[in-house]
Homo-oligomer: A and B are copies of this chain.
Amino acid sequence: MIYLDNAATSFPKPDIVYNAMMEAMREYGANPGRSGHKLALKAGRAIYETRELLANFFNIEDPMRIIFTSNATDGLNLAIKGLLKPNDHVITTSMEHNSVLRPLKALENSGVETTIIQCDETGSMDIKDIEVNIKNNTKLIVTTHASNVTGTIFPIKEIGNLAKKHGIIYMVDVAQTAGVYDIDVIDMSIDILAFPGHKSLLGPQGTGGVYIREGLEISQMKEGGTGSRSDSLIQPDIYPDKFESGTPNMPGIVGLGAGIKYILEQGIDNIREHERKLTKTFIDELREIESVKIYGPCNIEKQAPVISINIGEEDSSEVSFILDEVFNIAVRPGLHCAPLAHQTINCYEQGCIRFSVGPFNTINDIDAAVNAIKIISKEI
């Protein structure tokens, strides 16, 4: 199987991820932060180690401002719902994933106002469109770092600066970039950062998190046992306990830590260059195939290793089915949980076939994909 569905979840994971999780489960699989015995302490330390790795990775000063969640969606909901109050105004874009758009849509029922900036046909946004839409009650700007449909990279540092200038909170969804692109919350003026653990950070499914800058007032969505202030019926206000009720996914978080260690060992620049090279080759080859329509910037300087295409007017699911059945190539077809993005790039009816590259893909995978698309293009 040639796996080109890394934007959905990276596969495989580095061996050290599997091994670290097995060790965590077999050797010290206790409940972290609940008891004081050796295994529980070891489990607690292992979680803290991942928190520290993430903090260093994103240049976050205090690891305790990182909250572990079950995926990026969970983190985005936590921050969006915890932050926004009736009559607050939010600016977002037409390239966002439903993990941003659906919570905002739901909040409209309680009086939150949303402005959705229209991006162009390549999925790119114009920062001026944000600025002109800022109002007195604009509390939040939330954007993706790179579109999950087209890979289009957003100018997050510029948006962060703009937000800062206007005293607006900036939240970034780094689902498609964390682990491949440099992310520095201070340099980029990011107030809230939501990330999945199981994509380019190479951790297992069931992990993710959200960083919340000190000084922001965010209410928790759920309460429960935190292993802290157990004498009280009131949720503790300290981070991360305020948001981390119940037993955490300790082996998963340990696996996420191992994923980050792998990235640090390989060098994030090397991983990025490898993925960019494959993506560039893929784009260059695809351009030569007449019936192929490529969405997005078609420019490796402007896009993450995600390439969406269609072949003529063929149904994207049909083509993906052939890629899977005949060529043993795994991709994702249809609508990618981002309906406005498909409208923006004009493939709402047809959907599109998304190829997404990971660190374990090789040039042979790209050649095989190109070859398959050539054959399918000729035959249908």
Question: Which residues of chain A from 23 to 66 have a CB within 8 Å of any chain B CB?
Answer: 25-26, 29-31, 34-40
Further pairs besides A9-B29, A103-B222: 4, Cβ < 8 Å = A37-B323, A76-B224, A77-B221, A99-B223
Contacts of A235 in B (CB 8 A): 102, 106
Can you list, as one digit per residue, whether each of A229-256 has a CB less than 8 Å from chain B (1) or not (0)? 0111111000000000111111110000
Contacts of A336 in B (CB 8 A): 230
| A227-B36 Cα distance, complex, nearest whole Å | 41
For chain A, which range describes its interface: under 10, 10 to 19, 20 to 34, or 35 or more residues?
Answer: 35 or more
Q: Is the CB of A230 within 8 A of B339?
A: yes
Instruction: Report copies per complex.
Output: 2
| A206-B230 Cα distance, complex, nearest whole Å | 21
Can you list, as one digit per residue, whether each of A66-97 has a CB less than 8 Å from chain B (1) or not (0)? 00011111101110010000000000000001
Contacts of A9 in B (CB 8 A): 29-31, 247
Tell yes or no: A155 within 8 A of B by CB.
no
Tell yes or no: A332 within 8 A of B by CB.
yes
Q: Is the CB of B38 within 8 A of A330?
A: yes
Q: Is the CB of B11 within 8 A of A206?
A: no
Q: Is the CB of B8 within 8 A of A26?
A: no
Given contacts A8-B31, A30-B3, A35-B8, contact A225 B337 (CB under 8 A): yes
